[in-house]
Amino acid sequence: MKVTPTQLPEVLLLEPRVFGDSRGFFFESWNEREFERAGIRARFVQDNHSRSGKGVLRGLHYQVRQPQGKLIRVIAGEIFDVAVDIRRSSPGFGKWEGVRLSTESHSMLWIPVGFAHGFCVLSDFAEVLYKATDFYSPEHERCLLWNDPELGIAWALPAPVLSAKDAAGTRLRDAEVFP
C-alpha cells in the first residue's frame, strides 16, 4: 500500500495494491497489520454506506464527544472529499485538504479524530463507504458551514444540493471544536 501524507500530515491518502486481470480486480481495503505499519492504529466499530446524486454535498460533519476517525472510499462514482483540522491547538487549525476519490483509483482517505469531514459528488451518483472508529452519536454531532469564507474550501461545485442541517452549519469561529 502506498501512503501519502497530505498537506495536513495526519490525513493520509492510501493507495492499495490492486490485482487485476480480465476477470476484474482484488485489493485489501482494510488490513490491520498493514495499516498499523502506515501509522494508522484504529479500531473500527461501524461501517457506513451512502449513495448520493450528482451535486450533493454532505458535511462538514464531526462529533465533539465520541469523535470518529474515518477511512473513506468510493465504490461507485467520484467525489471530492474534504477534511478540515478543527483542533484548536494544532498548527493546522482551520486548514483543509481535499482529494478526489473514485471507483477507478481505489484510493482511500484516512481522516483521524480532530477533523471535520465532508464530500461532494462529481459523477452522476456516488456510493461512499466509510469505516468509523466510534459509534454515531446524533446528540454530539456538529456541522461546519460548507462555504465558511474563513475556510475557503474550493469545492468542485458552485451550487451544491444540501440537507437543511448542512445548509445551517456553523462557521468555524463560532463552532465547538477540539482543544
**What was the pLDDT predicted at 141?**
97
- Per-residue pLDDT, 62: 98
Q: Is 61 a catalytic residue?
A: yes
How many domains does the chain fold into?
A: 1
In a domain, 151, yes or no: yes
Domain assignment of residue 119, yes or no: yes
Q: Report how far residue 168's alpha carbon sits from residue 50's, in angstroms, rounded to the nearest whole number.
A: 21
Q: Which domain holds residue 131?
A: 2-174
Which of 49, 61, 106, 140 does the annotation list as catalytic?
Answer: 61
In this predicted structure, what is the pLDDT of residue 74?
98
Q: Assess if residue 156 is contained within a domain.
A: yes
What pLDDT does residue 157 have?
85
CATH number of the domain that 117 lies in?
A: 2.60.120.10
The Cα-based distances of 119 to 2, 19, 25, 154, 160 in angstroms read: 23, 28, 26, 12, 11
Stretches where the chain sits below pLDDT 50 are none
Within-domain flag for 127:
yes
136 tagged catalytic: no
Residue 76 lies in a domain: yes
- Of 62, 130, 136, 140, the active-site residue reads 130
- Identify whether 179 is part of a domain: no
Return the closest-CA partner of residue 112 out of 38, 18, 15, 57: 38
Domain contains 71:
yes
pLDDT for residue 158:
80
Residue pLDDT, tens place only, 80-118:
999 999 999 999 999 999 999 999 999 999 999 999 999
In a domain, 13, yes or no: yes
